Amino acid sequence: MSDAHSPARTPPREPIPRAPHQSGSFAEIQAHATSAPDEFWLHQAERIDWFTPPTCATPVQATEPGTDRGSWFADGTLNMSVNTLDRHVAAGRGDQPALISDSAMTGEQSVLSYAQLLERVRNFAGGLHELGVGVGDRVLIYLPMIPEAVVAMLACARIGAIHSVVFGGFAASELAVRINDATPSVIVTATGGLEPSRAVEYLPILHQAIALSTGSVRNVVVKDRPQLDGDITEYANGATAGGSVDVTWRDWEQLESAALPADAVEMRAQDPLYILYTSGTTGSPKGVVRDTGGYAVALEWAMSHIYGIDNQDTIFTASDVGWVVGHSFIVYGPLIAGAATVLYEGKPVGTPDAGTFWRLIEDYKVDVLYTAPTALRAIRREDPTLEELGKYDTSSLKAVYLAGERLDTETWHWANNGIHVPIIDHWWQTETGWPICANPRGVQQLPSKAGSTGVPMPGFLPRILDREGNDVTQPGTEGNIAIQLPLPPGTLIGLWGSTERFVSSYLAEFPGYYATGDAGYFDDDGYLFVMGRTDDVINVAGHRLSTGSLEEVLSQHPDVAECAVLGLHDELKGQRAAGFITMKHGHTRSESDLAIELVALVREVIGPVAAFRDVMVVERLPKTRSGKILRKTIRQIFDGEEVRIPPTIEDITVLDPLFVAAGRTPVR
Ligand code: COA
Ligand code: AMP
């Protein structure tokens, strides 16, 4: 890859006159994107700073991801940190706030202007460079919600390194899986994160993860947080990668302050900006690879047209940098737009109360709040009449955006009636990088509908397909949601290390389409209703989990004969993972001891993020005659739904104890 890159240089620095946004209604914009995608996206690309502007937009061949034929803006070159930082400073807005950091856990608040953030990024990028990190090298970032997380991501982008951020709620072995897949030479971390119930010490987790990994890591850079006990000197001489080569543990401050500032490296549009792991149907997570040019253009479009955010605005996205929402709408999107972004360490409730989000809105004059439905449900549970809201001046707030899981209509109505700004549900995935369907409030506020995620965004052509792949798109017909290829800019260009898995996961099921894994239907007005997953992925508090990987963990236990994990309805978190277990003959533990051990095992292997607490031991699991466990039937029984018993069931009496446990009368 490196031969295509020039050494670091600075692009032309006069403020570039931006192409104006397209005028017209959303329908006109959408029609333009569909009828003339090349022209449409090249026009959008003029709002990005390029070293070499692209002359073509659309990929020639959508099924060759990450190649010249399968890339957006294939002949353009740019640098993402220039687009998020340098260009705003060059335009005379260096003093404007870029990164507002607020920790409800420590009480700390800080603001970095664009000029200050640029300086920190240049220095830390220089530090990474001194550790031998260059174009195409991977850097794993395991950091809590502190400014250093953003600095580290942008520093990687500056020198052409590919970052992979891992959420702090994963355990050592999950971290090791990601280290082995991405093979980073450097890990950037902190002494820990702060959760309401405890301080999460990162260093022992990392130490264990590195010991479990196959040995790519050479340096660990640690940001010391005074609230944590961790001390890198404990690890300085003890840690080994793969049991042989020494890993050097370094202090963040020393590295940042001693380094020579790094200039931005010229990257090709299709060069990977990051790898972000997400749950698939199997135990091994999928490393979604994002490009640089397409992502920059798409996020620039989304910030203004979907969120209505420009360079005078502030957005507060209450997520985590470990998720795609954090990548796109805490870090890259807001900074590309030249806006201020709020980085919040804390919860929607309990830190200290259900008024925290409203306090942040008042303190920072937030224009747009973006969060997960779970967070609103948590606030509603604590403060159903929104008394806390009345205590703050939230007059700056213009809209609330929700995504990550299905927004139930009750919560939608509650929020609409109580918050008095548009409540906008929108739908997308780690893979797509930005919303597939939304309400384009920035260009034209369309009427919102309870239960719907809005209308398709430019370049996304979602269709409803039946199981055989026939296009059955018509109002009211539910089926698999698949998106016609090519996908628009900003969407995944592949899975790290495996083109085959990319094709088999997303492109093979419905030739000519990207399979979203979601099911839903359109209504008469072209609004999409997303109803749930078609695969074994579940969504717990907006966090995507694979039931397959949970089953793999449970079956490791010596007393477990068989198991099935499924997502049951949860009032707060949308879904929760529940494990149904049969025990081996001659087992040594009681059922309750087994349940305790299994909960602990999942926490140890996957991490607290799985929030796994429900275990039920049964005599037998219901199965078809061919031996397939009837997961859907079990779920219907426990979710209180009408139970459709498949005619192929092996023994219907197996269902009786499940009905009883769910407090229902068995159905025959
Ligand atoms: N690092 C380490 N541990 C973490 C963590 C992190 N970054 N984030 C969560 N955890 C831990 C929690 O401490 C908790 O551990 P515990 O079992 O010891 O209590 C466990 O993971 C589950 O956490 P969480 O899902 O946050 O549940 P909760 O009961 O602590 O809080 C809510 C409930 C509703 C407040 C919380 O789920 C929430 O804020 N949801 C919104 C989620 C969201 O924004 N998702 C965005 C996806 S786009
Ligand atoms: P993630 O990749 O973690 O962002 O999870 C993406 C998945 O979350 C989607 O495939 C959907 O299953 C679900 N999802 C995201 N947003 C919504 C939404 N607005 N409504 C319903 N489901 C959603």
List, for residues 644-658, the tens digit of each pLDDT value.
888 899 999 999 999
Q: H helices within 470-544, ranges in order?
A: 499-502
What's the rounded mean pLDDT across residues 164-182? 95
Which atom of ligand 1 lies nearest, measured to the CA of 320?
A: 46
b/e map of 359-376 (b: 16 or more CB within 10 Å)?
bbbbebebbbbbbbbbbb
Lowest mean pLDDT among 235-244, 359-368, 614-623: 235-244
The neighbouring-strand residues paired with 571 are none
Residue nearest to atom 13 of ligand 2 (CA): 405
pLDDT per position as a tens digit, 263-285:
999 999 999 999 999 987 666 88
Which ligand 2 atom minimizes the distance to the CA of 430?
2
pLDDT value at residue 241: 47
The label of the residue with tokens 């990207």 reads 514
Going by alpha carbons, the residue nearest to atom 10 of ligand 2 is 429
Confidence of residue 245 (pLDDT cuts 50, 70, 90): low
Ligand 1 centre and the CA of 195: distance in Å?
Answer: 8
List of domains in the chain:
541-661 (3.30.300.30)
Distance 358 CA to ligand 2 centre (A): 25
Instruction: Please determine, for residue 237, whether its predicted confidence score (pLDDT) is greater than 60.
Output: no
What pLDDT score does 198 carry? 93
- The pLDDT assigned to 63 comes to 72
Residue 12: cis peptide before it, omega within 30 degrees of 0: no
Nearest to 280 by CA among 557, 23, 495, 591: 495
pLDDT band at 231 (very low <50, low <70, confident <90, very high): confident
Beta-bridge partners for 400: 369, 423
Protein residue with least CA distance to atom 5, ligand 2: 429
Atom nearest to 407 CA in ligand 2: 20
Answer whether 304 contacts ligand 1 (Cβ < 6 A): no
Query: Which ligand 1 atom is nearest residue 196's CA?
Result: 13
Please give the span between the terminal C-alpha atoms of the chain, in angstroms, as a whole number.
Answer: 62
Q: Which of 20-24, 261-265, 384-388, 472-476 is predicted least confidently?
A: 20-24
Tokens (6 digits) for 431: 């893979």
Q: How many A from CA of 429 to the centre of ligand 2?
A: 6
Ligand whose nearest atom lies closest to the CA of 372: 1
CB 65 within 8 A of CB 54: no
- Cα of 42 vs centre of ligand 2, distance in Å, is 29
Region 463-469: mean pLDDT is 96
Q: How far is 335 from 161, CA to CA, in rounded Å?
A: 19
Q: What are the start-end ranges of the E strands in 272-373?
A: 274-278, 286-290, 314-317, 340-345, 368-371
- Spatial contact of 534 and 518, defined as CB atoms under 8 Å apart: yes
For the chain, give the mean pLDDT: 93
Residue with tokens 């492109």: 507
Q: Is there an atom of ligand 1 within 6 Å of 346 CB?
A: no
User: Nearest-CA neighbor of 11 among 158, 110, 134?
Assistant: 158
pLDDT tier at 244, thresholds 50, 70, 90: very low
Global pTM exceeds 0.85: yes
Residue 456 parent element (H or E) = strand 455-456
Task: Tell me how crowded residue 645 is: count the other CB atoms within 10 A of its CB.
Answer: 15
| Token representation of residue 319 | 């997520």
Q: Which of 268-272, 379-383, 460-464, 496-500 has the lowest mean pLDDT?
A: 496-500
CB burial string 314-352: b at 16+ within 10 A, e below: bbbbbbbbbbbbbbbbbbbbbbbbbbbbbbbbbbbbebe
* Top mean-pLDDT range of 151-155, 227-231, 440-444: 151-155
Give the per-residue pLDDT at 16: 47
CA atoms of 189 and 616, how far apart (whole Å) = 37
* Protein residue with its CA nearest to atom 15 in ligand 1: 608
- Closest by CA to 187, choosing from 229, 156, 225, is 156
- Supply the pLDDT for residue 253: 96
Any atom of ligand 1 within 6 Å of the Cβ of 201: no
Residue 281 to residues 174, 177, 614, Cα–Cα distance (Å): 15, 16, 21
What distance in Å separates the CA atoms of residue 289 and residue 306, rounded to the nearest whole number? 23
CA-CA distances (angstroms) from residue 384 to 42, 388, 574? 47, 10, 18
**Atom in ligand 2 nearest the alpha carbon of residue 531:** 21
Q: If you measure from the C-alpha of residue 609 to the centroid of ligand 1, how many angstroms do you get, rounded to a whole number?
A: 6
Q: Ligand 2: distance of its center to the CA of 531 in Å?
A: 10
User: Is the Cβ atom of 317 under 6 angstroms away from ligand 1?
Assistant: no
Task: Express each pLDDT in 6-63 by its tens digit.
Answer: 545 444 444 445 566 667 899 999 999 999 999 999 999 999 999 999 999 998 877 7
Is residue 334 a contact partner of residue 315, using CB atoms and an 8 Å limit?
yes
Residue 140, pLDDT above cutoff 70 = yes
List beta partners, residue 399.
368
Ligand 1 neighbour 323 (Cβ under 6 A): yes
Enter the tokens of residue 321: 């940098």
Residue 243 pLDDT level (bands cut at 50, 70, 90): very low
Ligand 1 centre from 203 Cα, in Å? 20
Q: What is the pLDDT of residue 9?
A: 47
Give the other-Cβ count within 10 Å of 387's Cβ: 11
Give the strands of the sheet with 479-484, arranged side by side.
Answer: 462-465, 479-484, 513-522, 528-533
Q: 424: buried, middle or exposed (CB in 10 Å: 19+, 13-18, 0-12)?
A: buried
- Quickly state the pLDDT bin for 2 (edges 50, 70, 90): very low
Q: Which of 170, 330, 377, 405 to mutate to test the pocket of ligand 2 (most atoms within 8 A of CB)?
A: 405
**Which ligand lies nearest the alpha carbon of 428?**
2
Nearest Cα residue to atom 8 of ligand 1: 169
| Residues near ligand 2 (Cβ within 6 A) | 278, 324, 403-407, 425-427, 429-430, 453, 516-518, 530, 533, 539, 544
CA distance linking residue 578 with residue 598, whole number of Å:
11
Proximal ligand: closest to the CA of 196? 1
- Tell me: pLDDT of 557 over 90: yes
